[in-house]
A and B are shown apart, each in its own frame.
Chain A
């Protein structure tokens, strides 16, 4: 069984969000970068569990520059067998998906897993695009994934409930909470990761379909209005007359 897990690098969840160069660039000063939680906790760990149960290999793939190597090594330390980095900037989901599809199309992966979304751009785009480009079915926002021979059964959330999807290998799925339990790399994993292969691949030609022209921040809250706990009627009144939400 050949499994591919798509991994991305994002700012730590507690990072302060600010911008430079006339609000056109994310200010990375003092920001720590991590492996995208959905990719790490759910997609990667489930991929490794499936390999452990069925044999085969887990490859992690990142589209990005050399400064992403530390997060790629982390994925190897958690238990991926080898890694591929496609050496280009990841500024547009469709471009990233084209890079991934161009690499994956001759590799015969049985399962391609990605995260539900990146926690910085919140796109939820790359997985579906890769599936379409490779002509594979796409199960998005999966919270569960089980295999039975060449058939997979997945659960995905829907409005007000969930649904059970059956699909034949090969397929692409995006992983949401529930799919697996996060794993912490151990010392042996970290040591082993140093010598696992990380292949750097050249990108294919592709244009960016979208580009961020500017960032902005939401208006800050006016400041909290405190209400006396013995006078909760005032809160009800304010919610009705001032905030107009009830």
Chain B
């Protein structure tokens, strides 16, 4: 028995969200009184750092097959690692990778999968995992009835605790030539430089209240000062003021940053559905009746064109004082 964690790699290193999955798996293992082992597919120069987040061992599967994500290869590697470690709890990130691999693994193992976990499993009465449902408007405490249990962790839900320690890294060369699939990754397009929306700790977002695309300069400047990613409401992406990949909400991307600053966004329920997992929400809106004020922590009733420039100055001052 043990807990196996699928630790994602990005650009030759453990991905930022890998540490949260590792943390989750390590804490789960502690709770169950067993070991946690991380599985790393592909080259990761800092694989031993997984130790800082609570695992003692890393299985690193290397080879060309793992350069990009081919779900069938990933599933085969996880199955192999489960055989090696006797794992019966397998932890994934609930992201672009976890959503591709975890369901296939569940069907392969005939195992129950709870996706989007927000807390450690509760093993006091069966094995119950709390997951976000209704786009973050509620939680479902879901019991897994099978012997093997698969969990994918909602990003930014349990945080990352760094300790010290270093994990022993065992390299496994894994032969995928017996696996036939027509799935091939032809090209990877990275948006370089920008902070990825789902990984950002702070997100600055604006809506139709900004009146036009030419007014986004101050939004970008505010984001810059805060080291934040930028987002927008759906109509703004639909009219083409902002790129589609910035659209957050029910039908866009769901995010859970530590701080979400919403400027000139009314706070329609479909918008809230994608952002209400944020730890702290700040709303700037001219209309005191805007629904967003009912769902935020801090509010400023005021004109964005006056408030945002002032806010930029105030954050700059704060940064200068807290270097």
Contact = CB atoms under 8 A, between A and B. Distances in A.
B136 A218 contact: yes
A239 interface: yes
Given A93-B113, A159-B10, A160-B191, A212 B142 contact: yes
Given A127-B103, A141-B99, A212 B140 contact: yes
B138 A215 contact: yes
A73 interface: no
A117 to B, nearest CB: 8
Interface in A107-127: 119-127
Contact of A122 (B133, B184, B185, B283): B133
B110 A94 contact: yes
B99 A124 contact: yes
B113 to A, nearest CB: 6
A129 B107 contact: yes
A245 interface: yes
B299 interface: yes
Nearest to A24: B141
A227 B182 contact: no
A243 interface: yes
A163 interface: yes
B296 interface: yes
B32 interface: no
B315 A210 contact: no
Interface residues of A, number: 77
Contacts of B68: 163
A64 interface: no
Interface in B91-111: 94-97, 99-108, 110-111
Chain B CB within 10 A, most for which of A14, A122, A141, A162: A122
Contacts, number: 274
A156 B96 contact: yes
A155 B322 CA distance: 43
Given A162-B189, A210-B143, A213-B142, A246 B100 contact: no
Interface residues of B, number: 104
A132 B103 contact: yes
Contacts of B185: 163-165
A210 B201 CA distance: 32
A49 to B, nearest CB: 19
Nearest to A128: B103
B184 A140 contact: no
A214 B100 CA distance: 27
Chain A CB within 10 A, most for which of B103, B188, B190, B194: B103
B71 to A, nearest CB: 6
A163 B190 CA distance: 8
Chain B CB within 10 A, most for which of A92, A123, A165, A214: A123
Contact of A13 (B114, B202, B250, B276): B250
Interface stretch (A53-61, A183-191, A197-205, A228-236): A228-236
A152 to B, nearest CB: 9
B299 A224 contact: yes
B104 A129 contact: yes
Given A129-B106, A167-B183, A211-B142, A161 B190 contact: yes
B302 interface: yes
B268 to A, nearest CB: 9
A70 interface: no
A165 B295 CA distance: 40
Nearest to B259: A245
Contact of B202 (A222, A240, A245): A245
A131 interface: yes
Given A164-B185, A213-B128, A215-B140, A236 B133 contact: no
B270 interface: yes
A140 B188 contact: no
Interface of A: 11, 13-14, 17, 19, 37, 92-94, 97, 119-133, 137-141, 153, 156-168, 171, 177-178, 207-218, 221-222, 224-229, 232-233, 235-236, 238-240, 243, 245-246
Given A94-B113, A163-B187, A178-B244, 12 more contacts: A122-B116, A124-B115, A128-B101, A129-B106, A131-B107, A153-B186, A160-B199, A164-B185, A210-B144, A215-B141, A226-B298, A238-B298
21 contacts: A125-B102, A128-B102, A132-B108, A137-B71, A138-B100, A160-B196, A164-B186, A167-B183, A167-B184, A177-B247, A209-B110, A210-B114, A213-B128, A215-B139, A221-B281, A224-B293, A224-B294, A224-B299, A243-B279, A243-B280, A246-B315
Interface of B: 8, 10, 15, 17, 68-69, 71-72, 75, 94-97, 99-108, 110-116, 126, 128, 130-146, 181-191, 194, 196, 198-199, 201-202, 226, 244-245, 247, 250-252, 258-259, 269-270, 273, 276, 279-283, 293-303, 306-307, 310-311, 314-315, 317-318, 322
Nearest 9 CB-CB pairings of A with B: A128-B103, A229-B302, A209-B112, A168-B182, A132-B107, A160-B196, A129-B107, A161-B190, A164-B187
